[in-house]
Structure 1
């Protein structure tokens, strides 16, 4: 009898281990948790947020099948509103251009779809970590704001590590499409930004396709590769030191490693550029038409554009 109990105990432990491993790598289908094309924005925002909160505990991937999904304001931050607050250890995977996430509604200062900024909101230097975004579209043509600020992005992250984007399109946001600051060991590959910054005029800040801020800590780095920026209000691609807005929070100078490779920009005010940028290299990038200049750099250190070292 004792041997039977030992055998059952071993069997139970093995089953528990298999369960835990499967949970760790589990893929959750969003439609099974109430994220549906037929829902209104409030339902989808709440249900996806609940699922992200759940998955983040052990980590995993959320798969959103093809369809058009509405999202609306589900949280408020220091500046603007957001639909979804992102959590660490969660990946969002779609079905390519057939999965369309659509933030909708008018907000006072702008509505971000995916948001993370505990540093500004709560004074905690927490990082968003280990996230992946792949194979979906964000279409923000249904949003508007009373006053343009930096809010109203497809992705608004501040302080993130080991986060990766692939095959994601962001279009028609009120502010920058991919507006992600202070990255560490992250990549954006084969992504597209179209018509972003629609709420801004041409003397505004931000309002670009890809906008990367830096200046919080050592080791900040990101590679943007094989991406396209077209018809955005200000820049197609740009980098800037956040100390120009808040020198106390972002005080680190002359650090970072930022590389943009084989990207295309067309019909932006400035196709490529940097403001107070450092250690930034644009390599093998192609520029089509532009509304003001092909590139614009101001107060930059150790920056290079297609083999030309900039002062």
Structure 2
């Protein structure tokens, strides 16, 4: 018969208590029940109960560890091996596409069912990488020693930071990192779970000092938090983090704005709403468009302070029928500022009609903008047709088959076309671009002929670019002081380089050929007409161009051709130190018009159809130091043009003409120095 327990305090040496405990010891060792009650009434586990608990822990561990040792290439292979996957446990199967690396499945009664959880794919890592690059711009070290610092929307007040050890700090936490919050909560739970008292609880340390307490409403209070409960602090922290998330500067087009990327429906309304939203934020931000096709039934309107980013491949905008890519409304003369386009592809292959306005980019008045590593192709009109720059860059861009629905010579219809003339200085740098198979030019600049475009704009540089297979390679149709250097301009259907009045109707003398430019150190090869053609047949120009250090070879026309209306006098041209080889026409031809202060010096003319041809009039000029080695019957210098105040000296002629100098026009004050072979 069981002994009735006493209420003696612990420890007790009462015989009655000893007898009671002896019975309980036997119950602990031999009972099949999982629990028993000690003499104070507390429920304890028997040995059988402890054994059962151990079995449960082992089985749970087995179920969670065994599946992790296996991954299956297909769902069918995993289902066939179901015996190795305990019921209720999970395993991974390789994803059939690139949206994830592997998918998790659970054994539900012998059938594998998806849990919805995934291992991340390379695409998600690419997105994280893109975010990191953007966040690094805004949250980089500033000398404080912290890894990152977050500020409010006005970028004035510090709201959170991560120190150099990776500890995350938020306001109101008594200089304790957020990572310490878990330990405090665990301590609270340990005490609460071990005490059944319904009253207010206090938490004491080993010296019986107050560590914290739970109030009668269930709120936990910890040192350093004032009168604020732990629950309220966590709730407020979540709100602050949510505000930080909403005020961040980088967004994913698909996950944050639900923009469709399957190419089957029009995503323009959602994409435009996203651009408008990001532009409205203080300082703007970035939108990352992950892999996919973004179908556009209307043009997107770019906004200031918005960066559009795509992965290096696998994502593109697909404008349909008459829709362009990014278009700033015509007539809006305010400048768009700080708009950036990085790795953006615009595919115009679904354009169905021609209009000069159906472009990849059609933006007027832009300042501090950037195009980086884009690809624009198969557009109806110009690929990148943007007007009136100010402090902007186009770098590492590729244009291909743009203007495909136009005929040669129609307005624009080129790879890159820049309208100019609103400001005297319109700084723009184009570098490391590739422009091929575009209808008119690979790259060209054109002074606009509306009332606002009064200037031949300055401060424009084009370098290290390729223009091949276009109607013409490069065009300067109305800017001042261009620098074109280090470019490959070859295999175009007509001129390699053309300075002319461009593709627009001339209005009040505009557009006109560019002036005071430099073309240097370029390869100008195998073009279907002249290598370089300076043409003032429609409008007057200030001239002033220098062609120096170029290789001009294998072109179907002249190496360098100068032409102008008969009543125009063009000043200050310089043709020096070029190599002109195997061109079908002459190495250098002054085809028409009048030219003053023209210098032709130091050029090497090798095996061309002719050497120097003068059909126009020349005054105040020199022809000296040239190597004229046609090695055929062409004269060294010939033509009916009038010559006035010309010095011809130190030229070398190697050819078979019986009359090396065949100048038949009026000559006034023409002097001949030493000219071997003449």
Alpha-carbon distance between aligned partners in 1 of 2:227 and 2:413, rounded to the nearest angstrom: 66
Shift of 1:49: 0.4
Query: Could you give the per-residue CA deviations for residues 86-134 of structure 1, whole angstroms, max 9, x where no partner exists?
Result: 11110000011211111112x3xxx3210114xx43xx52111111111
1:103 corresponds in structure 2 to 319
1:260 corresponds in structure 2 to 462
Pairing 1:66–2:291 present: yes
Pairing 1:192–2:398 present: yes
Query: Could you give the per-residue CA deviations for residues 56-109 of structure 1, whole angstroms, max 9, x where no partner exists?
Result: 001110000011221112xxxxxxxxx20111110000011211111112x3xx
Give 1:303's match in structure 2, choosing from 517, 526, 543.
517
CA contact (8 A) 2:420 2:456 kept: no
Residues paired across the two proteins, number: 286
> What does residue range 1-311 of structure 1 map to in structure 2 within 5 Å?
4=226, 26-32=249-255, 33-38=257-262, 40-42=264-266, 44-58=267-281, 59-73=284-298, 83-105=299-321, 107=322, 111-117=323-329, 120-121=330-331, 124-145=332-353, 148-242=354-448, 244=449, 246=450, 248-251=451-454, 253-298=455-500, 299-306=513-520, 309=546, 311=573
Which stretches in structure 1 are left out of the alignment for 5+ residues?
7-12, 74-82
Q: Decide which structure has greater strand share.
A: 1
Query: Could you give the per-residue CA deviations for residues 228-256 of structure 1, whole angstroms, max 9, x where no partner exists?
Result: 000000000101111x2x1x1222x2432
Alpha-carbon distance between aligned partners in 1 of 2:277 and 2:291, rounded to the nearest angstrom: 22
User: For the aligned residues, what is the CA RMSD?
Assistant: 2.8
Q: What is the TM-score with the length of structure 2 in the denominator?
A: 0.39
Query: Could you give the per-residue CA deviations for residues 145-189 of structure 1, whole angstroms, max 9, x where no partner exists?
Result: 1xx332111111100011101110000000110111111111011
Which stretches in structure 2 are left out of the alignment for 5+ residues?
1-224, 229-235, 501-512, 522-544, 548-572, 574-678
Q: SS state of the match for residue 343, structure 2?
A: strand
| Deviates further, 190-199 or 63-72 | 63-72
Shift of 1:216: 1.0
Alpha-carbon distance between aligned partners in 2 of 1:300 and 1:50, rounded to the nearest angstrom: 41
Shift of 1:18: 8.2
Change (3 A) 1:23 1:213: farther
Q: What is the TM-score with the length of structure 1 in the denominator?
A: 0.83
2:505 corresponds in structure 1 to none
Deviating beyond 6 angstroms after TM superposition, the runs of 4 or more aligned structure 1 residues are 13-22
Alpha-carbon distance between aligned partners in 2 of 1:16 and 1:125, rounded to the nearest angstrom: 42
Q: SS state of the match for residue 40, structure 1?
A: strand
CA contact (8 A) 1:41 1:104 kept: no
CA contact (8 A) 2:424 2:457 kept: yes
